[in-house]
Amino acid sequence: MNLSNSNAPLARREALKSRLEQLTRMIEIRSVEERIQKLFGEGHIRGSTHLASGQEAVSVGVARSIDPDDIVTCTYRGHGHALALGVTTVGVIGEICGRTIGCAGGLGGSMHLVEPAVGLLPTAAIIGAGLPIACGAAMAARARGTDRIAVAIFGDGSANIGAFHESLNFAAVLKLPVVFVCENNLYGEYTRIELSTAVEDIAVRATSYNIPGVIVDGQDVDAVAAAMETAVARARRGEGPSLLEMKTYRYSGHSRSDPATYRRPGELDAWLKRDPVDILAEKLIAEKLLAPDGLEPLKAETRDTVERATEEVLASPHPDMSEILSHVSASSSGGDRKFTFWG
Ligand SMILES: Cc1ncc(C[n+]2csc(CCOP(=O)(O)OP(=O)(O)O)c2C)c(N)n1
Ligand SMILES: [Mg+2]
């Protein structure tokens, strides 16, 4: 497994301190998602894919606000979070294409990305599952006497799952260092939020658990980071969890080839006008960190980098069939393939 052999994820995370790199990473996420859609059509991907184009500001805003040894859980819609946290393009595309070069050796696929070096627990297909796991990671951090925190990223649909309510209550009572980040993209699979959810704003549910609940512009990376920084500081001070609701939108359908015909007319166009990449690019131009005509060349350059990563992936092998039972169960004799978080 190529996981611990490389400093690249940590270096990529460190690089995110630069505002220009934050923009580049958001473009990279978009380009990777577009390439994955194409790879799926070309037959290189088994199973499913769940793209997060449009939600890049949440990924990068969260990643830039926490330390590499903080823990993150997220769902199948996790390619962008993995890239933002520092997993390499080869690690992500390789995993999704089921190649040994992937971040889980090609055994996990699109829904099971992982990188201990930057705190990414394996992403999960079961919605709501990451919330209690984040509570457990927060308890472990406290038991070890550290000021590390855990972040659980999940969707609006997941806020109707029992594990959401149990986790918020549990974390509030124990004042656990957790930040609950809800990406409200208005849809759970093919169902618009008002058909499944009794409240318009998920953040109001924080009231039931006596914790802060904040509505955040999920298209603006700086708004995401500002809300995160407040919640992270509160968690590190031992004052307990927060619930942040990121208002955002997914440009693609739920998964694979879903054409998303259930959208309201004009809805996609309205969100495209508040594209997170454009919003940050405009700010960087105003801050003179990007030339007025610098966005398109940056996009082209990033697409080239993603294309080179894709070529590397497609030239690399699939795992051998003998690997099929690796990691199936955890045991003390797991050998060198064990994932180790926090030593
Ligand atoms: C426990 C559980 N129930 C049902 C499903 C099927 N399922 C997959 S995605 C999804 C919708 C989730 O929507 P949301 O939480 O808003 O996340 P998004 O896909 O919008 O990121 C459902 C119900 C599942 N994966 N896990
Ligand atoms: Mg959703």
The residues near 215 (Cβ < 8 Å, ≥ 6 apart) are 201, 203, 245, 247
Q: Please check whether residue 231 lies inside any domain of the structure.
A: yes
Q: Is the CB of 188 under 6 A from ligand 1?
A: yes
Domain carrying residue 218: 126-249+261-272
Q: pLDDT (tens digit, 9 = 90+) per residue, 299-339?
A: 999 999 999 999 999 999 999 999 888 777 655 555 555 56
Mean pLDDT of 247-268: 95
Q: Residues 138, 238: one domain?
A: yes
Q: Let me know: does 277 contact 23? Beta carbons within 8 Å.
A: yes
**Ligand 1 centroid – CA 154 distance (Å):** 9
Q: Residues 202, 174: one domain?
A: yes
Mean pLDDT of 154-181: 98
Count of domains forming the chain: 2
> What is the distance between the terminal CA atoms of the chain, rounded to a whole angstrom?
18
- Residue 4 pLDDT grade (very low, low, confident, very high; cuts 50, 70, 90): very low
Q: Is the CB of 218 under 6 A from ligand 1?
A: no
Give the pLDDT of residue 123: 97
Q: Residues 175, 283: one domain?
A: no
Q: Which of 48, 189, 248, 254 maximizes ligand 1 atoms within 8 Å of its Cβ, making it the mutation to test the pocket?
A: 189
Q: Residues 106, 2: one domain?
A: yes
Q: Is the CB of 80 under 6 A from ligand 1?
A: no
Mean pLDDT of 31-37: 98
Instruction: Output the residue whose Cα is nearest ligand 1's atom 11.
Output: 188
Mean pLDDT of 74-88: 98
pTM: predicted TM-score of the whole model, two decimal places: 0.95
Q: Please check whether residue 187 lies inside any domain of the structure.
A: yes
**For residues 51 and 40, what is the distance between their CA atoms, to the nearest angstrom?**
11
Sign of CA dihedral 48, 11, 65, 282: negative
Q: Which of 58, 79, 127, 248 maximizes ligand 1 atoms within 8 Å of its Cβ, making it the mutation to test the pocket?
A: 127
Q: Residues 84, 201: one domain?
A: no
SS (H, E, C) 91-112: HHHHHHCCCCCCCCCCCCCCCC
Q: Residues 227, 181: one domain?
A: yes
In the chain, the percentage of residues whose pLDDT exceeds 70 is 94
**Ligand 1 centroid – CA 225 distance (Å):** 25
Distances in whole angstroms, Cα of residue 336 to Cα of each of 6, 117, 125: 15, 15, 25
119 pLDDT above the threshold of 50:
yes
Q: What is the mean pLDDT of the chain?
A: 95
Q: Residues 285, 195: one domain?
A: no
- Sheet containing strand 150-155, edge to edge, reads 71-73, 150-155, 178-184, 242-247, 213-217
Q: Is the CB of 63 under 6 A from ligand 1?
A: no
Residue 157's CATH number: 3.40.50.970
Q: Residues 297, 266: one domain?
A: no
Tell the residue number behind the tokens 């790879």, with chain if given: 39
Q: Please check whether residue 149 lies inside any domain of the structure.
A: yes
Q: pLDDT (tens digit, 9 = 90+) per residue, 40-62?
A: 999 999 999 999 999 999 999 99
